[in-house]
Amino acid sequence: MGTSGLHSACMALSMLLSSASIEADESRGTQSNGDAAMHVERHSNERASAHLRPDSRIADMLGTPAFAGFGRLLLPWDNRAYDETMRLGDIGSLLPYHSHVDPMNVVSALNRMIDDVNKGETIFYDFYTEAQKREDPTKENTSLFFFRGKPGAPFAVVSPGGGFAYVGSVHEGFPYASEISSRGYNVFVLRYRAGYGARVATEDLAGAISYIFKNAGALGVGIRDYSLWGSSAGARMAAAIGSHGGAAFGADDLPRPSAVVTAYTGHSDHSSTEPPTFGVVGEQDRIAPPSLMKRRIAALRQAGAEVEYHKYKGLGHGFGPGIGTSAEGWIADAIRFWERHMKNSSHQLRRNAMGKSRID
């Protein structure tokens, strides 16, 4: 072999070895905040993850280094074999109780998560310990996805819907969190146990709130004036905690949220002391008819709660952010409602030049 050929072969071998050495490295770390132990899934990648597009496939998303170790928890169904050739633009077909799934909105939220990991931030947290998971294996697929806002700002927990059969985070979780966190707030999207009913899912929400309170310092979030957001099944969970508190669901006895945001739910239960509640529903919703939601809103008013209620024309169930519909902009309205009912936050909220609230 001549000098030129030997040089080429060496270059090829060097590139092959270099390529093979690049892989995502996962490690679980433990941090402490007082007596509370944080169980954190840390993901360190030697290369930045590329953005996804609507024509990217599920396989592309699952193979994204930023999502190593938890990629399948981004998807709605547990223990399901997905067609990994499906494009993300068609992901709405996996969400039978949802409508108006906007591919660009879905992908934009996923890319926000990728960007955060590329910046070295942790976005995935286990709120149950490994011991708790061993004791109850149904807790294996639970988690919190963290969208950071301003350090020390109040937090929100978003519980997506899915009829307690699946968790529609790609439509009712990550896009909500991306918008809310863009206003400076810290937002967690809850992956709860699906297939076990409302009580178990609400226990997961209560446990997640306790985890956030215990680890607020390490997470960099304020525990005053937090809010709970939920859509459909997730709205039942948020409303239940608002009515009865986390202790009623096996968690710590903590302050109630400063606001509860509920989207298209038939939930009817309420207590004599309700937090301020914001509700939205589609005029043509046959799963959670507006009449049911309006009835609960009236009961909350009668109990003395501050409420705001919106019914949108031409919409059925599960419209999520409502991009391109009569409901578009409702998340911004809900944020303003939350802000109006913040009582203890030390943050001053101002309007920026674009009319959006932000934290200074």
The residues spanned by each domain of the chain are 120-359
The model carries a pTM of 0.85
pLDDT of residue 47: 59
Mean pLDDT of 234-260: 97
DSSP 236-297: HHHHHHHHH-GGGGTS---PPPSEEEEES-------SS---EEEEEETT-SSS-HHHHHHHH
Mean pLDDT of 168-175: 99
Mean pLDDT of 143-151: 98
pLDDT tens for 41-54 read 444 444 578 999 99
Tell whether the model's pLDDT for residue 2 goes beyond 90.
no
pLDDT of residue 30: 36
pLDDT of residue 184: 98
> Residues 85, 57: contact at Cβ < 8 Å?
yes
Name every residue whose Cβ is closer than 8 Å to that of residue 275 and which is 6 or more positions away in sequence.
242, 256, 257, 258, 259, 260, 305, 341
Multiple choice CATH, 120-359, 3.40.190.290, 3.40.50.1820, 3.30.420.10, 3.30.1600.10: 3.40.50.1820
Lowest-confidence region among 189-193, 243-247, 272-276: 272-276
pLDDT of residue 350: 42
pLDDT of residue 40: 44
